[in-house]
């Protein structure tokens, strides 16, 4: 993304070689940018090379964690988690991979969770990979609209599917004097599972 195509191509080939050592059905990614790299960027970088076919084969096996959960028909939580949330679409997941419905489907499957859509949920939060590190002031200006959109929902928890977006949102919301939690989709699912276990344990104790 910074124009160093030579190094990017070397890293793509190295990563591909490492993962080819394993007999896998799927390569699962919980990072929107990482998933886009495996699915789209690596095949482009390694086109017209000896790794071309291997990169395409790995791309076909690459799934975002939200896609995998629905594919394997994950266990639904039965405990009620009374929580108002809103969801931010990472650019590399929504526009980059076309994964928008899947995280929402998972979130809405958790009993008690109320999903309130923010305005223009797929608008960039300003993170843009390492852009927020090299152009921090500009990234915060980009994010200003996201802070207002979150505020308007009244949600106590913001959910996303990208670790970089999560860090950016946490920073922006904190600087705006807000204290909503920012979690990955699977972190909220984990909390629902933990509540399941607590209730089951209490029932056994009774």
121 neighbors 87 (Cβ within 8 angstroms): yes
Number of domains in the chain: 2
Residue 24 belongs to a domain: yes
- The Cα–Cα gap between 96 and 92 comes to 4
Asked if the structure places residue 78 within a domain, the reply is: no
Residues 59 and 93 in one domain: no
Mark whether 110 and 145 lie in a shared domain.
Answer: yes
Do 58 and 127 have their domain in common?
no
Query: Is 202 part of a structural domain of the chain?
Result: no
- Please tell me whether residues 90 and 176 are part of one structural domain: yes
Q: Are residues 190 and 88 in the same domain?
A: yes
Distance CA 125, CA 33 (A): 14
- Do 63 and 94 belong together in one domain? no
Range(s) of the domain holding residue 9 = 5-70
Render each residue's pLDDT in the chain as its tens digit; 206 residues.
778 899 999 999 999 999 999 999 999 999 999 999 999 999 999 998 999 999 999 999 999 999 999 999 999 998 899 999 999 999 999 989 999 999 999 999 999 999 999 999 998 888 777 766 777 788 778 888 989 999 999 998 999 999 989 988 898 898 888 877 999 999 999 999 999 888 776 666 65
Q: Evaluate whether residue 171 is within a structural domain.
A: yes
77 and 191 in contact (C-beta within 8 Å)?
no
């Amino acid at each position: 993304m910074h124009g160093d195509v030579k190094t990017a191509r070397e890293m793509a080939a190295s990563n591909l070689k490492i993962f080819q050592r394993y007999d896998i059905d799927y390569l699962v990614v919980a990072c929107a940018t990482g998933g886009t790299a495996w699915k789209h960027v690596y095949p482009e970088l390694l086109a017209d090379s000896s790794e071309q076919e291997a990169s395409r084969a790995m791309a076909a096996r690459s799934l975002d964690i939200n896609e995998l959960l629905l594919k394997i028909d994950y266990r639904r939580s039965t405990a009620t988690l009374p929580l108002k949330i809103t969801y931010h679409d990472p650019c590399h997941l929504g526009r980059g991979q076309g994964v928008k419905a899947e995280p929402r489907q998972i979130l809405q499957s958790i009993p008690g969770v109320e999903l309130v859509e923010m305005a223009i949920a797929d608008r960039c939060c300003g993170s843009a990979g390492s852009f927020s590190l090299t152009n921090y002031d500009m990234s915060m200006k980009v994010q200003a609209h996201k802070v207002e959109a979150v505020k308007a929902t009244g949600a106590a928890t913001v959910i996303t599917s990208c670790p970089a977006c999560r860090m950016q949102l946490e920073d922006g919301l904190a600087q705006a004097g807000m204290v909503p939690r920012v979690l990955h989709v699977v972190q909220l699912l984990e909390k629902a599972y933990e509540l399941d276990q607590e209730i089951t344990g209490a029932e056994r104790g009774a």
